[in-house]
Amino acid sequence: MQQIIIHVDMDAFYASVEMRDDPQLRGKPLIIGSLPNERGVVATCSYEARKYGIRSAMNIKEAYRRCPHGIYMHPDFNKYKTVSDQLHDIWNTYASASQTIALDEAYLDVTDTAKNWETARQFAHAIKQRTRDELGLNCSVGVAYSKTAAKTASEEKKPDGYFEIPDAEAFVDLIIDRDVRVLYTVGEKTAKKLHAAGIHTVRDIRENSDEVIRLCGKHGRWITQVAFGIDDRKVTPYRPEDAKSIGREVTFQKDVSDYELLRDILILLAFCVEHRAKRVGLQGRGITLKLTYSDMKQISRSHTVSQTDSAMAIYQETSRLLEQVDRRPVRLIGAGLYNLSGEDEEIQLTFDEMFREEKENDEKLRSQLLSELHQRYGLDFAGNLEKIYHYEILHKTVEYMRKYRKQQSSSGGAER
């Protein structure tokens, strides 16, 4: 039986949630991300803002240049995650398998639940209706024979769209004379490479398959298959352990040359990473430090460790890695875990007996570090860790620490 796959994609998700919660924002150019006086980028924006050429990942300064009268807001990821869970609860009721791509996007395999195209169409319209009625939000939905076609279909009539692509012939007919970027696996760099070789459209890919494969290797082979409408991938439910890494990073509003401050911030980032890892039940066998210098040069340093999700292990290792990098002004710092897997059951069974002393030492170090942070900055870090996990609170805390250290340094009081 041919697959029947639904792709659901919310329309300007973050902005739509904010406009739903504050009707005064509706119809206005709303930009979610950094504020105009801050460093950072656009996370998403309303369709009214897109009329000014604003798009996701655009530098916030450029967005403000294009739309100085826009409304700029920080994202509220906790709120978006809550809404996302509600969305997926609705969508998943129609599918035998669901693959979450992002907070606001998913593939649904309805082959067995719908059994035929007409029922799948009814499911798709029910998803749109329930999303609107129950959560006050609009989504775009595509129904198709494959994952690639379903995603293409959901993009076809945005916003609040619906489109069907029943088979490979219909898919090819739709895209054959469009730019190669219509194939969502073709990114900007790949498109430039193909354009430079005179391959501009999907038709060009089909007529120059060998050249595409020569230029792009294994990825090129996939591109040529999709250009012929071939995609038999299954909808695979997302598992947390499939994630490549778990990390948290912060961008400073002004470059930081104070490496003692960077070390203090690594404490907070380590707690954030630990929180996220424990929430999904994952541990890592590698710890990484990420830096972006003031000249935008990015570096990362990593080290393999015993399986862990401990904030103290993350802090100690990233702090050690920080000692090994060039001491230049820093724009961004991040910490993370990689080489992830579920908790080691054998270790868990014997943990209390074998590692009781290590656990006690870990708790002592946690208390000590939080106490030292309190002494240095006058903030109750121990009592407010749950708040610091929140994206905006973390950034505000880091900015307070940066300004406090600078003020103390100017008055000769910043000592460790």
Residue 300's DSSP bridge partners are: 290
- Helices 311-322 and 356-377: crossing angle in degrees, nearest 10, is 60
- Could you confirm whether 188 is annotated as catalytic? no
Instruction: Find out whether 159 and 16 touch, Cβ atoms under 8 Å.
Output: no
Amino acid letter, 122 = Q
CA 132 to CA 59: how far, in whole Å?
32
Strands across the sheet with 71-73, in order? 42-45, 30-33, 71-73
Residue for token digits 């103290």?
A: 312
DSSP 94: T
Catalogue the E-assigned strands of 1-82: 5-10, 30-33, 42-45, 71-73
Instruction: Find out whether 184 and 151 touch, Cβ atoms under 8 Å.
Output: yes
Amino acid letter, 230 = I
Three-state secondary structure call for residue 249: strand
Task: List C-alpha distances in Å: 201 to 50, 208, 292, 335.
Answer: 25, 11, 36, 41
CA 126 to CA 123: how far, in whole Å?
5
CA 212 to CA 284: how far, in whole Å?
37
- CA-nearest of 245, 261, 357 to 309 is 245
CB within 8 Å of 247: residues ≥ 6 apart: 273, 288, 290, 334, 335, 336, 337
- Helices 117-135 and 77-92: crossing angle in degrees, nearest 10, is 150
The catalytically annotated residue of 105, 164, 274, 317 is 105
What is the set of active-site residues? 105
